[in-house]
Amino acid sequence: MSRIPSTVPPEGAQIPARHPKAPMPGTKIPSHYGHCFGCGDLHPTGLHLVAHAGDGQNLNAVFTVTENHQGAPGLAHGGLLSLAFDEALGKLMWLIRSPAVTGRLETDFLLPVPIGTELHISAQITGQVSRKVYCSAEGRLGSADGPVAVRAAALFIVVPMKHFLEQAPKEFIEHVTAHPELLAFVDPEFDINP
């Protein structure tokens, strides 16, 4: 049986430096792909999560729970809430400009999240060791000061950009080559070597 990786940074983990080309504090963090279910503007039933860079290794994100996101009648589906946190935590990688994949995500549900509710997520990087980036977040109902409904912690693994591009179908690569605005994270200056 293999060891389950922790989402808690080990002793000696450092908070990584904010990249000089990271989005400026207060600015919207771009969608990495227009059709992304989590943050893409072009997905018809997606979360449409919008995140803004904080002043450090942190961000604030918001999404509105719609009828497309419900599990039990009138309530957000737990899996889609986990997706929102995966998306918000993953957007932290824009601040260090390192492409990464989710290695582990832990989500704690504290309160039900009704449809029609805005969920306000605050997320931060809590440490990095080599290619492992540790993050945490909490989601509040209705406002940034509302009651905490969800908490999450994650471990992301920095990977080369080719990891994403090699998985994509040929037709996808041809399409985004013709429409680069759909794939904002393929920035020729993006640091791709961990």
Is residue 142 classed as helix, strand or coil in its secondary structure? coil
Query: Can you give the three-state secondary structure of 11-70, one letter per residue?
Result: CCCECCCCCCCCCCCCCECCCCCCCCCCCCCCCCCCCCCEEEECCCCEEEEEEECCHHHE
Please check whether residue 94 is in contact with residue 29, taking contact to mean a CB–CB distance below 8 angstroms.
yes
Kindly report the average pLDDT of the chain as a whole number: 87
Cα dist. 55→59, 92, 121, 194 in Å?
A: 8, 12, 15, 24
pLDDT attached to residue 174: 74
Domains, the chain, in order of start with CATH, read: 50-182 (3.10.129.10)
* Of residues 72 and 187, more confidently modeled: 72
Judged against a pLDDT cut of 60, whether residue 193 lies above it is answered with no
Cα dist. 98→35, 90, 143 in Å?
A: 21, 10, 30
Distance CA 128, CA 61 (A): 22
Of 28-32, 164-168, 184-188, the range with the lowest mean pLDDT is 184-188
pLDDT tens-place string over residues 7-40? 999 999 999 999 999 999 999 998 877 778 888 8
pTM across the whole model = 0.86
pLDDT attached to residue 29: 93
pLDDT attached to residue 163: 64
* Of residues 136 and 30, more confidently modeled: 136
